[in-house]
A and B are shown apart, each in its own frame.
Chain A
């Protein structure tokens, strides 16, 4: 084994097999350095003297290690227009399908769960206003939900730092935000009052059912943290929360096909999304 390698070939394969089986994330030899750096971090943080002892901890999810490990691999901070190819897909394909059986003035319901501090649901609102010519012709209801009530308060306040706005053009910032001091911007009140925020745990049916059914759900980068049982329960809850023919968008490392057979895979030009079948499921 080269001196610089932290994991030997078999350990690296063993870890990558586990990661794929558990999370669907695929890492090749080309990503070895990236993987090893995170393994070293987590071994150090957990006081694991050997890869074998760390891997045993990871496999049994001791003290939530899987979540910690996955966190080390993912970008946790969120920002406006993150994964905007899905937003493009929303206006190009998803809403086009959803309005096929609606008439002008009907409602279109979109749910962002989890919504964290609001970047995603506000992004959806801004994207629709900017990119969907039919936005005036339907009643569009956008709801953001999160299990964390503290982030929901922040979402309602709608105040964001520079990094959260890094993907937005100056024109968009000018149009939808007002500046608060040197480094903060607040989203305009009109937009703040267009998005509802409320608490929900997507694994609890009693908390998701009252939200009713949606045309599109954004549920990005959360299922990856759940264990198999919770993922499956969440998938069934989200299925109930979709109108027949409704769509769910997951994060780019996630695959509903690995979680539940309830949904159909739809491949559009800009994104792969999952759909509740429009008719019976037999």
Chain B
């Protein structure tokens, strides 16, 4: 039988100790920066250090690990750092930040109303997507508040898309008002009709 049962090891070795993490994050080789970024997830005070290193990080793999660690830290402070990357000129950083925020919805929950009211249209659009991870009633309330005053059709469309999945009948008045306000936008009208149909389709008991 040619198969062997011979442990060959090849372990990459333990990760860096806490004291080595800050230095390795900025001046290590790619593998050291990656390992330091991952180790930083276990150091709740490391959010600022991680965010600072992330601003200058050029390797996509290490950036990914840094975003994951910021998400794992999961505090409002780390969420704030991640949110700052939503404003980056780099599409890679914006996408990385959005992915990280999706998995840290608990940590950034209290920041979401502020994001949905951000002056930047792109941030408001991205924030609608983040609301998808919230419980339905909470997401419905937040998105209906946004819809009631939102002037940008693209932001409304993002909110409507999420409401089509999570919305309850409580969203219907806000959707109708939005349709009325943007009656010149066939696309938004279609999206609102779809969302409204889906919400209306929720059926009474007796089938289970």
Q: Are B103 and A50 in contact (CB under 8 A)?
A: no
Q: Are B8 and A194 in contact (CB under 8 A)?
A: no
Q: Are A142 and B135 in contact (CB under 8 A)?
A: no
Residues from chain B with Cβ under 8 Å of A14 in the complex: 164-165, 198, 201
Q: Say if the beta carbon of A44 comes within 8 Å of chain B.
A: yes
Q: Are B8 and A229 in contact (CB under 8 A)?
A: no
Q: Say if the beta carbon of B30 comes within 8 Å of chain A.
A: yes
Stretch at the interface among A27-35, A72-80, A151-159, A203-211: A203-211
Q: Say if the beta carbon of A256 comes within 8 Å of chain B.
A: no
Residues from chain A with Cβ under 8 Å of B8 in the complex: 107, 109, 139, 141, 212
Secondary structure class of chain B's binding surface, majority of residues: loop
Interface residues as binary, B1-31 with A (CB distance below 8 Å gives 1, 0 otherwise): 1111111111110110000000000000010
Q: Are A209 and B15 in contact (CB under 8 A)?
A: yes
For chain B, give the interface size range: 35 or more
Q: Are A129 and B201 in contact (CB under 8 A)?
A: no
Stretch at the interface among B48-56, B63-71, B80-88, B112-120: B63-71
Q: Say if the beta carbon of A99 comes within 8 Å of chain B.
A: no
Size of chain A's interface in residues, with CB distance under 8 A?
A: 59
Residues from chain B with Cβ under 8 Å of A281 in the complex: 30, 59-62
Residues from chain A with Cβ under 8 Å of B94 in the complex: none
Q: A10-B201, A51-B207 are in contact. Are A228 and B2 (CB under 8 A)?
A: no
B165, B200, B205: the one contacting A17 at CB < 8 Å is: B165
Residues from chain B with Cβ under 8 Å of A54 in the complex: 208
Assembled-state Cα–Cα distance A40/B19 (Å): 54
Q: Are B59 and A228 in contact (CB under 8 A)?
A: no
Q: Which residue of B lies closest to A132 (CB)?
A: B2
Q: Say if the beta carbon of A275 comes within 8 Å of chain B.
A: no
Q: Say if the beta carbon of B202 comes within 8 Å of chain A.
A: yes
Q: Say if the beta carbon of B143 comes within 8 Å of chain A.
A: no
Assembled-state Cα–Cα distance A247/B206 (Å): 49
Q: Say if the beta carbon of A236 comes within 8 Å of chain B.
A: yes
The minimal Cβ–Cβ distance linking A58 to chain B, given in whole angstroms, is 11
Q: Which residue of B lies closest to A46 (CB)?
A: B208
Q: Say if the beta carbon of B40 comes within 8 Å of chain A.
A: no
Q: Are A8 and B203 in contact (CB under 8 A)?
A: yes
Q: Are B10 and A213 in contact (CB under 8 A)?
A: yes
Q: Are A129 and B3 in contact (CB under 8 A)?
A: yes
Q: Are B165 and A211 in contact (CB under 8 A)?
A: no
B4, B64, B197, B203: the one contacting A52 at CB < 8 Å is: B203
Q: Say if the beta carbon of B147 comes within 8 Å of chain A.
A: no
Interface centre among B10, B30, B208, by most chain A C-beta atoms within 10 angstroms, is B208
Q: Are B1 and A191 in contact (CB under 8 A)?
A: yes
Q: Are A50 and B68 in contact (CB under 8 A)?
A: no
Q: Are B5 and A194 in contact (CB under 8 A)?
A: yes
Q: Are B60 and A48 in contact (CB under 8 A)?
A: no
Q: Say if the beta carbon of B188 comes within 8 Å of chain A.
A: no
Residues from chain B with Cβ under 8 Å of A11 in the complex: 198, 201-203
Q: Are B202 and A52 in contact (CB under 8 A)?
A: yes
Assembled-state Cα–Cα distance A187/B104 (Å): 45
Q: Which of A37-54 contact B (CB under 8 A)?
A: 40, 43-44, 48-52, 54
Q: Are B2 and A40 in contact (CB under 8 A)?
A: no
Q: Say if the beta carbon of B109 comes within 8 Å of chain A.
A: no
Q: A280-B59, A282-B59 are in contact. Are A261 and B64 (CB under 8 A)?
A: yes
Beyond contacts A50-B204, A128-B3, A261-B64: 8 other A-B pairs, Cβ-Cβ < 8 A, are A14-B201, A40-B208, A43-B208, A52-B168, A141-B6, A141-B8, A261-B60, A281-B62
Can you list 13 pairs linking A and B with CB atoms under 8 Å apart?
Answer: A8-B203, A11-B202, A49-B208, A50-B205, A60-B136, A140-B2, A141-B6, A191-B1, A212-B11, A229-B103, A236-B68, A281-B59, A282-B59
Q: Which residues of A come within 8 Å of B, CB atoms?
A: 6, 8-11, 13-14, 17-18, 40, 43-44, 48-52, 54, 56, 59-60, 107, 109, 125, 128-129, 135-136, 139-142, 190-191, 193-196, 205, 209-213, 227-229, 232-233, 236, 239-240, 243, 260-262, 280-282
Name the 6 nearest CB pairs between A and B, nearest first: A281-B61, A10-B201, A194-B3, A212-B10, A49-B205, A229-B103
